[in-house]
């Protein structure tokens, strides 16, 4: 009897390890394909870590606060890219909002440590990323709702190699899709 091997088992193994290291599962149905972000995860992070700024924005925008923040975030990502946005935050109606907090240099400030611990690393399996098709990525890793890593897994036991993944990215993935535009996401 021939033993079957699949990428799904590899995905499960990777997921198991990363979930054990603090990643949280993010459901792919919450992914906004047009904007290439997980809007609920991004807004939850901002509300949880920057409540005072959120309150000031809510006083201006009321029920539209979330929509305005996401609009500003996406414009900032399109202009400055993911890495700059994660490093420095973004402006929303004169207020700076952070999308990630980095490990403090020392443990003397518990507030900085708490902010760092509030980061949410997300893992999504089989993410349907395109607004035009139902193509999916095997695994997507995100920081506070912003995708930062996409993975196409290949199984050498079924005759696949890294060259197959490279070929898939080059020939089967449109670099103009929002999630793949290098200078924006």
pLDDT band at 32 (very low <50, low <70, confident <90, very high): very high
Query: Which of 174, 138, 180 is closest to 14 using CA atoms?
Result: 138
Task: Report whether 99 contacts 73 (CB < 8 A).
Answer: yes
Is pLDDT at 3 greater than 60 in this prediction? no
Is pLDDT at 5 greater than 60 in this prediction? no
Instruction: Return d(Cα 94, Cα 41) in angstroms, integer.
Output: 22
Q: Look at residue 1 in the predicted model and tell me its pLDDT.
A: 44
Q: Look at residue 106 in the predicted model and tell me its pLDDT.
A: 87
Q: Look at residue 117 in the predicted model and tell me its pLDDT.
A: 95
Region 12-22 average pLDDT: 94
Q: What is the pLDDT of residues 126-174, one digit of tens each?
A: 999 999 999 999 999 999 999 999 999 988 877 888 999 999 999 999 9
Token pair recorded at residue 14 = 């990777």
- Rounded to whole angstroms, the maximal C-alpha distance in the chain is 67
3-state secondary structure 80-135: HHHHHHHHHCEEECCEEECCCCCCCCCCCCHHHHHHHHCCCEEEEEEEECCCCCCC
Query: Angle 65-88/39-49 helices, nearest 10 degrees?
Result: 80
Query: Which of 122, 124, 117, 115 is closest to 23 using CA atoms?
Result: 122
Instruction: Return d(Cα 44, Cα 120) in angstroms, integer.
Output: 10
């Amino acid at each position: 009897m021939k033993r079957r091997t699949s990428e799904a088992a590899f995905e499960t193994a990777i997921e198991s390890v990363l979930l054990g290291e603090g990643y949280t599962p993010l459901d792919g149905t919450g992914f906004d394909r047009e904007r290439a972000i997980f809007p609920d995860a991004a807004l939850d992070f901002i509300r949880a870590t920057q409540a005072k700024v959120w309150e000031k924005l809510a006083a201006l925008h009321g029920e539209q606060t979330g929509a305005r923040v996401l609009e500003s975030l996406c414009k900032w990502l399109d202009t400055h890219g993911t890495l700059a946005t994660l490093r420095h935050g973004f402006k929303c109606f004169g207020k700076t909002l952070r999308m990630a907090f980095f490990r403090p240099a020392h443990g003397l400030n518990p507030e900085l440590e708490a902010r760092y611990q509030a980061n949410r690393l997300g893992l999504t399996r089989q993410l349907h990323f395109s607004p035009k098709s139902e193509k999916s990525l095997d695994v997507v890793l995100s920081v506070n709702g912003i995708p930062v890593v996409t993975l196409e897994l290949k199984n050498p036991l079924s005759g696949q190699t890294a060259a197959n993944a490279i070929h898939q990215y080059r020939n089967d993935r449109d670099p103009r899709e929002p999630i793949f535009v290098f200078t924006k996401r």
